[in-house]
Amino acid sequence: MTGIAIVGAGLAGWKVATELRSLGYAGEVTVFGDEPHAPYDRPPLTKRFLTGEAGRADVALAPEGTAAELGITLRLGEPVVAEPGQVRSFDGTTLTEATVVVVSGARARLPELFDVPGLHTIRTLADAEAFRAELDHAATLVIVGAGFLGLEVATEAVRRGVAVTVVEQQEEVLASVLGAVAGARLRAEHERAGVRFVLGSSVRAVSPGVVVELADGRRFTADLGLAALGAVPNTQAWASAGAGRIACDADGRILGAADSWALGDVAAWRDPIAAGAHVGREHWSSAADQASVVAHALLGLPVPEAFRGPPYFWSDQAGLKLQVVGRPELATEASWRDGQVLDLRREGHLVAVVIFGAPRLLRRLTSEIRTAEESMRGEVFS
């Protein structure tokens, strides 16, 4: 091992680098990033950063001088492609020979229909700054897409007195992620806060201005628009990637590639609960845990069980903290435990819980999911 090259300078890439140092690795560590900024945290971009409560310094993961102090080389503003044993530029020049970790993240999904002046996406720091500059002067906002990102932006916008309309093609918000029961509860919270929803409607056209026209002929005009249509993994950073995420084992090793690893949005790790399927998880907490797993595994160290816990993610929504523990994508049944906890089950097994505004319950419910996972090992879910 001549060194370790990390392709991606987001949270997960930076955490792999710093964890390698904390575990005693003294070899070369190089982090490549295609943005010109030092590593920064993305979740605040649709929260405190959007409202102006946080600036660049607040979202930075690597304050000036930190990389040099740790002996980590940052190569920023430099799109690269990795393959087993090396990283090269897109013109084919070899930049380094090393063990490779691909953590290149994802970009905003923007079909051609929505690539219109005035309709923003938020994925990068530059995106968030551009959107915030216009939000400061907007009275009306239309958001296409009722996923977590779109609803977080809606939360902050209505707090600032902006009239927000959210257009969603599904019949319920987040139905494909959390199920219709949780989605309906979440939508009700947003409606109480002042957000207007237009559900079950596809967009036919978008015009500069911003004018959004639906398939049924209705039109919505706003000062500002946001396309929140999900993300596309940046698999172009891995030379032999196919159309989907990069398939890996349960420690992040890329299948069929020597000394090569992947994690975060771009990767699909083997999930022993989901019938051994390869599952991609796009959340901050999953990327952070995977970074710790990879750092230990790279150095041949046992991986602490703390980093193999149930999937977890959270989001600030309509004035409450929404927390999800487990695998809601496996659920076929939903039932309320009380007004704050929704149990998601499959064939009698508790596969996930959704917690509405009750963070004090997180530890106990996580323990319940851990116990349920043990009973599910060996089950075949698809």
**Is the peptide bond prior to 232 cis by the omega test (within 30 degrees of 0)?**
no
Share of the chain above pLDDT 70, in %: 97
Q: Is 200 within a domain? A: yes
Q: Are residues 300 and 339 in the same domain?
A: no
Identity at 206, one-letter amino acid code: V
Q: Are residues 224 and 270 in the same domain?
A: no
Q: Is 212 within a domain? A: yes
Q: Is 181 within a domain? A: yes
pLDDT in tens, 81-132: 999 999 999 889 999 999 999 999 999 999 999 999 989 999 999 999 999 9
Q: What is the mean pLDDT of residues 7-30?
A: 97
Distance CA 312, CA 328 (A): 10
- The pLDDT of residue 173: 97
Distance CA 96, CA 165 (A): 48
- The pLDDT of residue 134: 95
Please check the confidence at residue 274 and state whether its pLDDT lies above 70. no
| Residue where a domain terminates, one of 308, 337, 352 | 308
Domain CATH number, residue 270 = 3.50.50.60
Identity at 50, one-letter amino acid code: L
| Residue where a domain terminates, one of 282, 308, 334 | 308
Looking at every residue in the chain, the average pLDDT score rounds to: 93
Q: How many residues does the chain have?
A: 382
| Residue where a domain terminates, one of 229, 250, 283 | 229
Please check the confidence at residue 168 and state whether its pLDDT lies above 90. yes
pLDDT in tens, 195-230: 999 999 999 999 998 999 999 999 999 999 999 999
Q: Grade residue 377 by pLDDT with cuts at 50, 70 and 90.
A: low
* DSSP per-residue letters across 100-164: EEE---EEE---GGG--TTEE--SSHHHHHHHHHHHTT-SEEEEE--SHHHHHHHHHHHHTT-EE
Number of domains making up the chain:
3
Domain, as residue range, for 293:
4-107+232-308
Q: What is the mean pLDDT of residues 312-341?
A: 94
